Amino acid sequence: MKSYLAAAIQMTSLPDLQKNLVQAEELIDLAVRRGAELVSLPENFSFMGEEEDKIACSEAIGLESEKFLKTMAQRFQVTILGGGFPVPTEGGKVYNTCLLVDPNGSEVARYKKVHLFDVNVPDGITYRESSTVKAGEDLPPVYVSPDLGTLGLSVCYDVRFPEVYRHLSHKGADVLFVPAAFTAYTGKDHWKVLLQARAIENTCYTIAPAQTGRHYGRRQTHGHAMIIDPWGVVLADAGDEPGVAIAEINPDRLEQVRRQMPSLQHRVFM
């Protein structure tokens, strides 16, 4: 593993596949021009609209999203994480799918979101992700990159379930991805502290690309795409506008923190 720059992209995705892919390409280009070798896109990067519209267009969204990720990775010669897009499954539902692609345009890891956001948020909005999404059944994977370290996948609501990240750290993760479309209401209180907790307790870098702003109807997201170091220090924060958070992933810093705070070695219950 070498030192390198990683990018957490922040978008305001809309119910328009092509507009979203244009926005994503512009932000990937910006990240690469600033030196990023690992680029991550948020959950729902390619489509964020009403659930019935997502289902109606899910086959096209899934195919175009996957093609886009592979094309961008090859064009820019970087590793890209697509943080979440619908892939049709049986029963008329979709998997909320996270895909990691290497610079050759090859898929190296895929994760189907396990924890679905079925919540009555105190701001009066009710979310029922399970009405259109089928939960994945497998623990998220890690991908061992010769240059970028061991990368662990997750999606959004997973961040509230620390056992997911214990699994990833047990598998050797150096970097945890948390691509998200966090609600504006919960994000203001919970987003940063949850990301810091996952970084600290697992002594891992945490990369969290995010959605921001108003997308459709009453749907608003928190923003603040972040990169956090293994000590819990926020290295980069994209604020609340579309853009890119960029920071160094440094193996020496990782080793230093794990030496100073060897909590992973002290685990009693696995």
Helices (H), 10-114: 17-33, 51-56, 58-76
| pLDDT score of 211 more than 80 | yes
C-alpha–C-alpha distance, residues 262 and 251, integer Å: 15
| pLDDT score of 95 more than 80 | yes
C-alpha–C-alpha distance, residues 41 and 133, integer Å: 20
What pLDDT is attached to residue 58?
Answer: 96
Could you tell me the fold of the domain covering 4-266? Nitrilase/N-carbamoyl-D-aminoacid amidohydrolase (3.60.110)
| Residue among 54, 112, 113, 192 flagged as catalytic | 113
SS3 158: helix
Is 43 in the active site?
Answer: yes
What pLDDT is attached to residue 123?
Answer: 82
Name the pLDDT band for 263 (thresholds 50, 70, 90): very high
Name which of 171, 170, 236, 176 is nearest 200 in CA terms: 176
What pLDDT is attached to residue 269?
Answer: 84
Q: Span 73-89, mean pLDDT? A: 97
CB 141: neighbour CB atoms within 10 A?
17
Is 113 in the active site?
Answer: yes
**pLDDT tens digits for range 13-52:** 999 999 999 999 999 999 999 999 999 999 999 999 999 9
C-alpha–C-alpha distance, residues 180 and 157, integer Å: 8
Reported as half-sphere exposure (CB side, CA atoms, 13 A), residue 143 has a value of: 22
| Residue among 70, 98, 134, 156 flagged as catalytic | 156
What pLDDT is attached to residue 2?
Answer: 97
Name the pLDDT band for 217 (thresholds 50, 70, 90): confident
| pLDDT score of 270 more than 80 | no
pTM, to two decimals? 0.97
Q: Span 213-224, mean pLDDT? A: 94
CA angle, 145 then 148 then 152, to 5°: 70
**Least trusted range by pLDDT, from 103-107, 121-125, 205-209, 216-220:** 121-125
Name the pLDDT band for 101 (thresholds 50, 70, 90): very high
Q: In sequence order, which residues have a C-beta less than 8 Å from that of residue 140 and are 6 or more positions away?
A: 98, 111, 114, 152, 153, 154, 158, 164, 167, 168
| pLDDT score of 220 more than 90 | yes
What pLDDT is attached to residue 218?
Answer: 84
| pLDDT score of 160 more than 90 | yes
Is 129 in the active site?
Answer: no
Name which of 13, 73, 23 is nearest 43 in CA terms: 13
